[in-house]
Amino acid sequence: MIVQNKTGIVHSIYQLAQIEQQNLNQHLKQLGLNPDQARVLDYVQAHPGTNQRSVATHLGRQAASTSNLLTGLSQRGWLKRQPVKDSAREKALFLTIEGTKTAAQIAQTFNQLNTLFEQGLTTKQLDDLVALLTQLTRYLEKVGD
């Protein structure tokens, strides 16, 4: 059995990520979204009532660019901002009905991509791969601390 070196592993993961990103961007473009917009809708769906600061942290973006992103999603009718009771400035974020529909389409896109990636593997290979990737992720998180 030939064992690839770590450079080979990194290269393979990078190639898979590139393929995934191209597929994802193509599907999101059909929905009229870019990846950050999709991530916001997905995040707000999972965390209704969240605030701009939490979204910015999730995206790894500055407050000003996050504000512009949220404004654009609001203008498109996918996101609404509601005042928070005890704060004059803070707004809670919620999806509109259209935003919820779009978030469901985003989830469907991810499910389709997942299916595409899984089709090339047997059930055992898939189980082994997920286990190995989980192990690698945990190791890298620990090493990174």
pTM of the model: 0.78
CA-closest candidate to residue 79, choices 69, 90, 88: 69
Q: Are the C-beta atoms of residues 61 and 69 closer than 8 Å to each other?
A: yes
The confidence score (pLDDT) of residue 121 equals 93
Measured CA to CA, the distance from residue 51 to residue 142 in angstroms comes to 29
> For the chain, which residues make up each domain, given as ranges?
17-144
Assigned CATH class of 17-144: mainly alpha
pLDDT, tens only, 100-125: 999 999 999 989 989 988 998 999 99
pLDDT per residue as tens digits for the range 47-93? 999 999 999 999 999 888 899 999 999 999 999 999 888 877 889 99
User: Among all chains, which residue has been given the structure tokens 């919820």?
Assistant: 100
pLDDT grade for 1, boundaries at 50, 70 and 90: very low
- Residue 123, CB-side half-sphere exposure with 13 Å CA sphere: 0
**pLDDT confidence band for 7 (50 / 70 / 90):** low
